[in-house]
Amino acid sequence: MRLRAAMATAVASAGILLAGWQSGAHVADTGTATTTSLSSSATAGGTGTAGGTGTAGGTGTSSGGTTGGSTTAATYDGAAVQTRFGTVQVQVTIQGGKITEVTALQLTDAERKSAQISSRAAPVLRSEVLQAQSASVQTVGGATVTSDAYLTSLQAALDAAHF
């Protein structure tokens, strides 16, 4: 029985990654950007919803500016990724060809424990992404589902930015 559960989990995780990758590829084809100044800032908000089928949702949108100049910044919203613990969505800011900020727009919050795990994992993931300058970072121990969804959403945003 444990083997069956492990296999189901592995298949579900692969499905999430595949759906996120496909969603990110779609976002990269349809993303648009406009110029803004550095002094503008995006606000984060929203709440996650419980449930989901283990697939990535949303389309990922972009706002902000071009990534070529040193005085302009572009922000891109990643796809909203549904997990069994709630929705995860991140926004990335790119300036001068570098990732300068990663903001969690939504984190898992289906229950109190999920919210605690997310609030612990998000700053670690943000720091790792800023250091690596990509979504190719390790997941946070004890927060694998949140980490995978965070990185899937981030990759969709980076794809939209053609980064």
* Span 27-64, pLDDT tens digits: 333 333 333 332 333 333 333 333 333 333 344 444 54
Over range 14-19, report the average pLDDT. 53
| The pLDDT value given to residue 103 | 97
* Pick from 118, 111, 159: nearest CA to 135: 159
Task: Report residue 59 as tokens.
Answer: 């389309």
pLDDT at 5: 57
Which runs of consecutive H residues, i.e. helices, occur in 108-143?
112-132
Per-residue pLDDT at 93 exceeds 50:
yes
Q: Which residues contact 156 (CB under 8 A, 6 or more apart)?
A: 20, 23, 24, 27, 56, 60, 78, 79
**Interval 106-114 mean pLDDT:** 93
The structure tokens listed for 82 are: 């549904």
How high is the mean pLDDT of the chain? 73
Say how far apart CA 144 and CA 19 lie, in whole Å.
Answer: 17
Q: What is the mean pLDDT of residues 121-134?
A: 97
Name the nearest CA neighbour of 39 among 62, 67, 64, 66: 64
**pLDDT greater than 60 at residue 65:** no
Q: What is the DSSP letter of 56?
A: B
- Could you give the CA distance from residue 114 to residue 98 in angstroms, rounded to a whole number? 31
Residue 121 has pLDDT above 60, yes or no: yes
